[in-house]
Amino acid sequence: MTDLFRAAAPLLRALPPEVAHRATIAALRSGLVPRTETVDDPVLHVPFRGLTFPNPIGLAAGFDKNAEVPDAMLGQGFGFVEVGSITPRPQAGNPKPRLFRLPEDRAVINRLGFNNQGMAAAETRLRARPRRGIVGVNLGANKDSDDRIGDYIAGLKALGPYADYVTVNVSSPNTPGLRGLQNKAELEELLGRLEDARTAAGLAIPIALKIAPDLTEAELADIAAVAVEHGTEGLIISNTTIARPPDLRGRHKEQSGGLSGAPLFAPSTETLRRMYRLTGGRITLVGVGGVGSGADAYAKIRAGASLVQLYTALIYQGPGLVAAIGRDLAALLKRDGFDGVRAAVGVDVNP
């Protein structure tokens, strides 16, 4: 797909971002996009809760909102793919324009608002796909829901049987009030009800919680305590940020919404480091935010991540980036004498 991307990149960048994205999904759905190089090196294998990730590089939620192309993206070399965010009912999301490129900053600002076709459409697609490769489902709540926790439970029950794990997204900045579910009391209720629902449905899949990078130390401490108490299997760190670094240069830098890409690397990695320390390594952490190289992925791992995810960097560097990260990460691990990813997790974090 790398040569195809090089040929198509000028046209895609000339299109409005959402149009370019839909064109990319359509090309992947067509089946005409060839599989790309896969880095198969035992040093990159990551065991987790009965799963073995062939490499720790995942596709973050947001690219494949409707579970249309998970297998096509696994074919681009990712060790796992996360689809969504998916809400129980279809919703259009926020008014357009709502997606903005900042190429000078290798960043994107979005205020999409969980635009997706809903749970039923995703369930149909996930049920029909062959179960090969690791695919997670990112769950969201409808904007007008009067029981947002109930929305997550509905998603777990409907989509959990077809997923290798589910992620509870309570940290999008584009659904008013959603981030309030990260507060201690609401988070305790959310995780408690999800655990009960998982047990009642006879599901054994891990549940991960995706949090924001804009939290105070006290808020992070509360999340860590609740997650450890409830035996939460994973924390994904982090979602997009509402902060705006003063050195942003892109002409859309004042747009509202969540900022992703290179400017998010430092704050999300610091949040990752703090959560690894707060959880004492008892919860598997996934590092997201600004990953665009093998060195970036390695820094996330050394800060406490067992797995990493990316999305924005693909917009600017193309799908060949995945194999490049895998090769470079394997070389860095071997250079430093690590026999696997897990041996390097958290080595830069002070007790």
Active-site annotation holds for 85: no
- Locate 203 and state its tokens: 């599901």
CA–CA dist 204, 214 (Å, integer): 31
Kind and range of the H or E element at 307? Answer: strand 307-310
**163 vs 166: CA distance, rounded Å:** 7
Classify residue 10 as exposed, middle or buried by CB count within 10 Å of its CB (0-12, 13-18, 19+): exposed
3-class secondary structure, 25: helix
CA distance 184 to 220: 10
Nearest of 158, 168, 161 to residue 192 by alpha carbon: 168
Q: Is 292 exposed, middle or buried (0-12, 13-18, 19+ CB in 10 A)?
A: buried
Q: How far is the first Cα of the chain from the last one, in angstroms, to the nearest whole number?
A: 43
d(C-alpha 188, C-alpha 227), whole Å: 8
d(CA 322, CA 294): 9
Is 313 within 8 Å of 321 (Cβ atoms)?
A: yes
Q: Are strands 284-288 and 234-237 parallel, antiparallel or unpaired?
A: parallel
Catalytic residue among 85, 145, 171, 172: 172
Pick the closest to residue 150 from 210, 229, 89 (CA basis): 89
Residues known to be catalytic: 172
